[in-house]
Chain A
Amino acid sequence: MSAPALNYSLLAPILVILGGAVIGVLIEAFAKSTSRTALQKTIAFGSIILAFAQVWRVHNQSSASVAVKSVVIDGPALFMQGTILLLAFFALFLISDIDNFTAQASAVPGSEEERSALQTGRQQTEVFPLTLFAVAGMMLFPAASDLITLFVALEVLSLPLYLMAGLSRRRRLFSQEAALKYFLLGAYSSAFFLFGAAFLYGYSGSITFEGIRASIVESPQNQIFLLIGMTFLAIGLLFKVGAAPFHAWTPDVYQGAPTPITAFMAAATKVAAFGAMLRIFYVVLGNANWNWRPMLNVIAILTMIVGSVIAIAQRDVKRMLAYSSIAHAGFLLTGVIALNKHGLEASLFYLVAYGFTTLGAFGVVTLIRDSSGEITDLNRWAGLGKRSPKIAALFSFFLLAFAGIPLTSGFIGKFSIFSAAYESNNIAVVVAGVLSSAIAAFFYIRVIVAMYFTDAHDDTVSVVIPSRLTSLTIWFAGLVTLILGVYPTPLLNQIEKIATFIH
């Protein structure tokens, strides 16, 4: 038997990132602690730039058999890989503020060991290779075209994230709790995912997307296997995007994880997970949409409402943003339900727009601190508009974008995704989306009120002077949010050109 043919050219972006990650691990093991951080940053940024260049190089190519039939590289896949790389690049700017991470993750919180690691400045930097591994998994996830690869990609992206969630320097127990919760629920959902994959194999006798698709088109037998298979597969995916009722981990993890990691996770994971979801529901299960659409309809509506209603009760900025991300997962699901070309285009646009706005918003959260670390209690944000007008204005702008006010990217995203859903006659989802947007507006505005219209009663909270990289990230995110709100035509045109799945 001859070795399988691999199209290295098209795999290059993923391979570069994996290579970078491996080198990062070696550096962690062998490099001196004085030069380690600088080396790690170089490798991380270097591999992301290189990978992006590779994506750019192949951006006009496509192939359904990149690695036999396990990986498919087409327009949407490359678009999502590029988006993930861009988001990761800017998230790394936030992560580079290494001060947010524990010096030695393995030390018991509060122990002598931890204190000495902090005092001597022996900072471990495993967060960089972990980020790269996660990025590689995320890039593979929307490009996978068989169930095994899909599962491997899922795990490659998830495992590093579980660890990264526990790396916070301050409030370490809280952070570790988040990591454990994320891991346990993640493992649970992986089990569901595998269970579903097994049933789909049982149904079609094939693990490739092509085979499953062919079975659905040809043989309407064994419907029960198909139903079980796709339900459980969907549960695994819905867990990753944080859709209700599989959202319970989101607020705890978003709150407990170090904020730069939350930013990365919220922005990039969504792209990857929705990328895979779009491919599965559009390509693989597209012909069985009579079976899954009603179910996803209910979940989308539930997710939007749960996200926006529970967010109202939140007094913590990170938790509020977590619930807002749940609501946005609901909006994105309407793009999946639409099941037409406009739905795909709108989803891709929404992912870019939402990704950057999220990155910016969490970027701002990293800046609001007192002497003990980040302040995420909304009450203590009172009066920020007076003390740091620029940062407060920028954060308000991000919130308005989340709320979908015109002249922000969020509005164009919402408009295009809802109109795609309307086009496919899912009007109930559109109405639910619009109503939950109205509910959501309430809590976004409350933050603006706290910052601008409430007098500060706590002078210890202040905005730290942002590091150059952090301020670059948040201002760039602001710029993207504005440009995509005012003149998104170039991006829309580009998306229109590439938004076709090949199979």
Chain B
Amino acid sequence: MTLTIIGALPLLGALLIGTVKKEQTTVVKQMALLTSILTAVAFAITAMRFEVDRPGFQFVESHSWLPTFGINYALGLDGISLILILMSVLLVPVVIIAGWHESEGGRWSAKTFYVLILILETMMIGVFAATDVFLFYVFFEAMLIPVYFLIGGYGVGERSQAAIKFLLYSLFGGLLMLASIIGIYVISGNQIGHTFDIDKLATLQIDSLTQNFLFLGFFIAFAIKAPLWPLHTWLPDAAKSATPGTSVLLLGVLDKVGTFGMIRYCIKLFPDASKTFTPMIITLSVISILYGAFLAIGQKDIKGLIAFTSISHFGFITLGIFAMTTQGNSGATLYMFNHGFSTAALFILAGYMMRRRNSSTIADFGGLQRVTPILAWTFFIAGLSSLALPGLSSFVSEFLVLVGTYTRYPVAAILGTFGIILAALYILIPVQKALHGPTTAGNEYLPDLTRREKIAIAPVIAIIIALGFYPKPALDVINPTSVTTITDAGFSDPAPTGGK
């Protein structure tokens, strides 16, 4: 029941907010904040009780939901889902504090904004905790709706177009996945009786042709979500149009559903097909890494920059996942967690900057270092984390991914390393332009961070630094699940070749 209760907390908060009058925006915000903090605390306490070395799902609960189809309402946690839910519930309060005024200027009231955010939080918990494929799909699709309204209703610029593009891409992927889900459901019916239980489905014997098609249905859906080149085109538009807070949730959490799904569903359910498609996916990942990085260098818009860096980072994550080594897998999982926070930091700080300057063009921010030192320094740290500087969290994960990939696909790993070099360019050039150099006219009197803004960004920066120096707790949680994933899929780590 624990997971259901925690998952229901935000929904409950949303219902309570529903009873408040529209005009009482402060009350609404406080209630939303309180709910999200409660959820985060409740989940953190639960996470403490997670036994790292026990195999399989923990905090399991299962109730029959649609017995006609063998569908259960089944939840459980393994290392990967634990770490991703933790990331999600930590990011929501941060986003609420950081974007305290974000809902202003939206098409609808602040009340609707926070109701949507909280409903989304419930679905985020559900999508990671579900151990029934059907239930996962329900969350996977249903969570599009609140995001759609968050982008379309509260964003800037061409927000409704961006929202539609996001929704159509996602729905298209989702429907392909539905076809695969139906396929695996029918096969389960022929072999072991209708079920959607992920562990039982993993035992099915599926001939390789069918497996390939079913795999593609899942994979394309996840590749759109992640997003992997060439299915990424919705992301920059969505990120440019959404509010910074929504962007954090979109890139930080929702896109992780894609990479999470690749580990949990693609590899687990279709190990042979995963093997077949690995060369293709590795290639796409490397393209993503380089493509995202090159385009990031050319970005003049700060939100566009973060979006393209993310495409590059997601390339690293998929590379790590499909390297099919335990190092690569746990590196990729840790990367998901770290990327959540470094992207959050970048978006939140970019949000602060844009609010001060009413512009998102990088060139407009010249000389912030002198005018607003705290803002500039925190942005610098976030940027360094994004380029994976040693000592900051992303370094560990990027390193693990590359090492894990090198043992099997040395060329891909070497090409991926170029991504790191490009990262230095795409982060340092804008940092130099925006923060250092002469103060751009109009920036002379910009105020530095307020207390609220500091409170929001502090924990994010703290996590980035702490995990950079001491990633062990996170890796301890992730590693056993990664080992299980890789060995269950029939892979073993290649023996180190040693120096010759």
Which residue numbers of A lie inside 8 Å of B, CB to CB?
A: 386, 400, 403, 405-407, 411-412, 414-416, 418-419, 422-423, 427, 430-431, 434-435, 437-438, 441-442, 445-446, 449, 452-454, 487-489, 492-493, 496
Contact = CB atoms under 8 A, between A and B. Distances in A.
For A406, A418, A427, the residue with the greatest tally of chain B CB atoms inside 10 Å of its CB is A406
B142 to A, nearest CB: 5
Nearest to B178: A434
Contacts of A445: 164, 167-168
Interface of B: 65-69, 107, 137-139, 141-142, 144-145, 149, 152-153, 159-160, 163-164, 167-168, 171-172, 175-176, 178-179, 182-183, 185-186, 189
B75 to A, nearest CB: 16
Given A403-B171, A434-B176, 7 more contacts: A407-B142, A411-B138, A412-B66, A434-B175, A434-B179, A441-B172, A488-B66
A441 B168 contact: yes
Given A422-B182, A434-B178, A449 B160 contact: yes
B182 A419 contact: yes
Contact of A422 (B69, B167, B183): B183
A415 B142 contact: no
Contact of A415 (B145, B171, B182): B182
B7 to A, nearest CB: 15
A449 B148 CA distance: 10
Contacts of A493: 67-68
Contacts of B107: 386, 452-453
B175 A437 contact: yes
Contacts of B171: 403, 438, 441
A403 B141 CA distance: 12
Contacts of B141: 405-406, 411
A407 B145 CA distance: 11
Contacts of A422: 182-183, 186
A496 B175 contact: no
A254 to B, nearest CB: 25
A492 B179 contact: no
Contact of B172 (A414, A416, A418, A438): A438
Nearest to B134: A415
A499 to B, nearest CB: 11
Contacts of B67: 489, 493
Contacts of A416: 68-69
A400 B178 CA distance: 16
A423 B66 CA distance: 18
B68 A496 contact: yes
Nearest to A427: B183
B69 A415 contact: yes
A449 B179 contact: no
A453 B145 contact: no
26 contacts: A400-B145, A405-B141, A405-B145, A406-B137, A407-B138, A415-B182, A419-B69, A419-B185, A422-B183, A434-B176, A441-B167, A441-B171, A442-B168, A445-B168, A446-B164, A449-B160, A449-B164, A452-B149, A453-B107, A453-B152, A453-B153, A453-B159, A453-B163, A489-B66, A489-B67, A493-B67
B189 A423 contact: yes
Contacts of B142: 405-407
A308 to B, nearest CB: 12
A398 B68 CA distance: 24
Given A407-B138, A434-B178, A489-B68, A453 B186 contact: no
A431 B176 CA distance: 8
Contacts of B167: 441, 445
A423 B186 contact: yes
Contacts of B68: 416, 489, 492-493, 496
Ranked 10 nearest A-B pairs via Cβ = A453-B160, A406-B138, A492-B68, A434-B179, A438-B172, A419-B182, A441-B171, A434-B175, A406-B141, A438-B175
A430 B182 contact: yes
Contacts of B175: 434-435, 437-438, 441
A288 B125 CA distance: 50
Contacts of B164: 445-446, 449
A380 B195 CA distance: 47
Nearest to A349: B68
Nearest to B149: A452
B434 to A, nearest CB: 32
Nearest to B67: A489
Contacts of B182: 415, 418-419, 422, 430
Contact of A492 (B66, B159, B183, B185): B66
A431 B178 contact: no
A422 to B, nearest CB: 5
A437 B185 CA distance: 20
A278 B67 CA distance: 25
B467 to A, nearest CB: 35
A449 B141 CA distance: 18
For A407, A446, A493, the residue with the greatest tally of chain B CB atoms inside 10 Å of its CB is A407
A365 to B, nearest CB: 22
A492 B67 CA distance: 9
B153 A452 contact: yes
B217 to A, nearest CB: 9
A415 B178 contact: yes
Contacts of A496: 68
A414 B171 CA distance: 14
Contacts of A411: 138, 141
Contacts of B149: 452
Contacts of A487: 65
A199 to B, nearest CB: 36
A452 B66 contact: no
Contacts of A449: 152, 160, 163-164
Contacts of A488: 66
Contacts of B179: 418, 430-431, 434
A416 B137 CA distance: 15
A72 B164 CA distance: 49
Nearest to B167: A445
Nearest to A419: B182
B153 to A, nearest CB: 7
A427 B178 CA distance: 13
A431 B213 CA distance: 11
Contacts of A405: 141-142, 144-145
A21 to B, nearest CB: 37
Contacts of B168: 438, 441-442, 445
A407 B65 CA distance: 12
A405 to B, nearest CB: 6
Nearest to B179: A434
A194 B107 CA distance: 57
A405 B140 CA distance: 10
Contacts of A442: 168
For B66, B68, B176, B189, the residue with the greatest tally of chain A CB atoms inside 10 Å of its CB is B68
A383 to B, nearest CB: 10
Contacts of A400: 145
Nearest to B170: A441
Nearest to B152: A453
A454 B137 CA distance: 30
A198 to B, nearest CB: 40
Contact of B152 (A406, A437, A452): A452
Contacts of A492: 66, 68
A255 B377 CA distance: 62
Nearest to A412: B66
A441 B175 CA distance: 10
A427 to B, nearest CB: 8
B304 to A, nearest CB: 22
Contacts of B160: 449, 453-454
A423 B194 CA distance: 12
A493 B67 CA distance: 9
Contacts of B144: 405
Nearest to A417: B182
Nearest to B168: A442
For B138, B144, B179, the residue with the greatest tally of chain A CB atoms inside 10 Å of its CB is B179
B95 to A, nearest CB: 22
